[in-house]
Amino acid sequence: MACQQEHDFEVGKCGIQVTEFEYETLTALAIDYLPYPTDLCDLCIGRHKEGLAPACVKHCQAFCIYYGTTAELVKKMEGMPIC
C-alpha cells in the first residue's frame, strides 16, 4: 500500500507484492505474509536520494523489510536468530 501511494500506481499495481501463505502446524492453522518486490519496484530512488528509506521499509508494521548495502544487511543478520 505504501508503494502504491508513493508512486501513485493504479489499483492492482504495486512495487511490493505481499503473498499470503497458509499452512497447518501440529496445533493450529498458521498464516504468514511474505513481501516480494515486483518489476515496478525502483527501491524508491527519489526517497533514497533524500537519505530516506524506501516507503515499504518505512511503513512495514511487521519490521520484516530492510534496506541497505550488502555489508549493512549482513551485519544486521549476524545479530538475528536463524529462522
CB 35 within 8 A of CB 56: yes
Domain residue limits, the chain: 2-78
The pLDDT tens digits of the residues spanning 35-67 come to: 888 999 998 999 989 999 999 899 888 887 888
| Percentage of residues of the chain with pLDDT beyond 70 | 99
* CATH number of this structure's domain 2-78: 3.30.70.20
Q: Read off the pTM.
A: 0.69
Q: Which of 29, 28, 1, 30 is closest to 17 using CA atoms?
A: 1
